[in-house]
Amino acid sequence: MEFKASICIQTERCFYVYFSYLWNVSAVAAAIQKMTRVRVVDNSSLGNTPYHRPPRVIHVYTKNGVGKVGDRVLLAIKGQKKKALIVGHKMPGERMAPRFDSNNVVLIEDNGNPTGTRIKVPVPTHLRKLEGDYSKVLAIANSFV
């Protein structure tokens, strides 16, 4: 059972002033790649202060340039580079894995410690089985999906 959801349209002009995230309509081709706009879901100040440009992915640390849940990416936020971890994307993945309505990302330092201290948005539990250091992100998450 996939978590299908409706997508909301948002006028681009006045979007950045009010709302911190854009809901887009175009179909998803590959999960997260360079130049995708992402949504930062933790409570870090870097991810939550408004800026005139949304955070974009500038590099994906995988063999192919496609980022799925659990992959590290490099973001350009507020004119600076920051590493982040993907915790959910719009592209459908495995059958029983959750699909999200937005490409969610958690900011991370270079040593793997999360920048924020809490994550309100649901985080997938299959992160635990993946190879990689996800226990820290799971430890600060509030709800699991």
Q: Which residue ranges make up the site for other proteins (CB under 8 A)?
A: 4, 6-11, 14-15, 17-21, 25, 27-28, 43, 90, 109, 111-113, 117-118, 120, 125, 128, 133-136, 138-140, 142-144
**Torsion-angle region of residue 142: left (phi > 0), alpha (psi -120 to 50) or beta?**
alpha
Angle of CA points 107, 110, 113, to nearest 5°: 60
Question: Which has the closest alpha carbon to 137: 27, 121, 51, 62?
Answer: 121
Considering the complex, what minimum distance in angstroms separates the CB of residue 94 from other proteins?
17
Nearer to other proteins, 15 or 56 (CB): 15
